[in-house]
Structure 1
């Protein structure tokens, strides 16, 4: 009895393996399956009503299109994978570097602080207002004309009264005008890239007190 059961189990396993291999082979060769069906159809066609040439050509064109799309999808997947690997390497190379990311935070240490701005067009009037933790303005900087792109804004810690501001965390706001018209200006905070991790949307950079930032958020690296 045991021998019969073992034999039956072996036959079942062999059958399952054969079925799996056959299914895999069929899944991997859709074009071969189509051609076999087409040949079978042609062999069994009614001699008095043969297949129309246009119909055969149309069917061949369809399988060719499907095959081409499959190959294109495979190529795009490979390209996407290569791009993701390249971006991950780029993000890893930023560890230990300072970088500008969107934000309004500015940190004063030893009478030195750095903020950043990004302008989509040149302006003839640019003003920066630095505020303490209570939201009270402590310094107004009139920087005049400024070009397009990312610019670094230094602050030596001096307040409007001439006194030295205490080290710590501050925020800042920007006012930009061109010919009297308000121009949108993006504020940037400077932070240190501590580490990189992979998220659903790509590489995530740990910017310490500034939180996490996407690789696309990086505006300039130092």
Structure 2
């Protein structure tokens, strides 16, 4: 009887998910658990058999551990497939214009593109183009906009309609909804020069803006 009690206690402790080494695979855990469970049932006291709820609980625990490992494997496979697809898509980007966070408007041949990222819907969205002294050179009203990213273009003219010189100009974006400020982030346009991929991470060479991660891209132009 003492042997039976010791075996039962050992089996219950071993069957517990908390005592299983994380280095052991779910298959090994399940095999070990089933052997111990069978031994426990064969050697249990006929006058005091194992409670059905206890056995069900132990089976549920080992199934949970096995399910988590299978889920982790599936997620890893999906992540690998996603990274491969992302890398293949990135190879098509050289020569494309994208929007990333930044407050520079690169005016070239009398035209510049930029963008605004809104945290919420806005009644009014305004872009101020600033001169070197920080004064407003031109205000561009984008009107009512939904939350998210939207692009705009600047014709390279000041508020008097005079063309300004090509080059990099600073901008400031503001947005409001019902008279209250809405979080607005300025986005600058850049051309993708090249793409590199290493260990699943995709990096984009944006010329003067340097190297940016794929996740930095807010939109494509």
TM-score, L = length of structure 2 = 0.71
Aligned residues: 195
Q: Is residue 217 of structure 2 the alignment partner of residue 218 of structure 1?
A: yes
Q: Is residue 104 of structure 2 the alignment partner of residue 105 of structure 1?
A: yes
Q: 1:215 to 1:50 in 2, by over 3 A?
A: same
How far is the alpha carbon of 1:88 from its aligned partner?
2.8
Q: 2:145 aligns with which of 144, 147, 153?
A: 147
Stretches of structure 1 that go unaligned for 5 or more consecutive residues are 1-25
User: How far apart are the structure 2 equivalents of 1:136 and 1:71?
Assistant: 58
Residue 66 (structure 1) aligns with: 65
Contact map agreement 2:122 2:175 (CA 8 A) in 1: no
User: How far apart are the structure 1 equivalents of 2:142 and 2:31?
Assistant: 71
How far is the alpha carbon of 1:162 from its aligned partner?
4.9
Residue 174 (structure 1) aligns with: 173
Task: Tell me the secondary structure at the aligned position of residue 29 of structure 1.
Answer: helix
User: How far apart are the structure 2 equivalents of 1:180 and 1:29?
Assistant: 63
TM-score, L = length of structure 1 = 0.71
User: How far apart are the structure 1 equivalents of 2:69 and 2:109?
Assistant: 60
User: How far apart are the structure 2 equivalents of 1:74 and 1:144?
Assistant: 47
Residue 205 (structure 2) aligns with: 206
* C-alpha distance after superposition, 1:129-151 (max 9, x if no partner): 2224x344362124262332433
User: How far apart are the structure 1 equivalents of 2:197 and 2:62?
Assistant: 39
* C-alpha distance after superposition, 1:198-219 (max 9, x if no partner): 4789433222222333333322
Q: CA RMSD in A?
A: 3.0
User: How far apart are the structure 1 equivalents of 2:43 and 2:99?
Assistant: 71
Larger radius of gyration between Structure 1 and Structure 2: 1
* C-alpha distance after superposition, 1:95-117 (max 9, x if no partner): 32101111101112222222222
Contact map agreement 1:123 1:183 (CA 8 A) in 2: no
Matches within 5 A, 1:39-188: 39-47=38-46, 49-119=48-118, 120-124=120-124, 126-132=125-131, 134-137=132-135, 139-143=137-141, 145-148=143-146, 149-160=148-159, 162-188=161-187
Task: Tell me the secondary structure at the aligned position of residue 153 of structure 2.
Answer: strand
Contact map agreement 1:127 1:140 (CA 8 A) in 2: no
User: How far apart are the structure 2 equivalents of 1:142 and 1:53?
Assistant: 73
How far is the alpha carbon of 1:161 from its aligned partner?
5.3
Q: 1:54 to 1:143 in 2, by over 3 A?
A: closer
How far is the alpha carbon of 1:33 from its aligned partner?
1.8
User: How far apart are the structure 2 equivalents of 1:61 and 1:67?
Assistant: 10
Task: Tell me the secondary structure at the aligned position of residue 110 of structure 1.
Answer: coil
Contact map agreement 1:100 1:191 (CA 8 A) in 2: yes
